[in-house]
Amino acid sequence: MYEYTMIEDMDEWEESIKSAEHVIVDFFATWCGPCKMLENQIKKAVEKYPNLKVFKVDIDEADEITDHFEVENLPTVFYFKNGEKTTMFMGSKYNLFHSKIDELMAK
Give the catalytic positions in this structure: 32, 35
Please name which of 36, 51, 45 lies closest in space to residue 81, comparing C-alpha atoms: 51
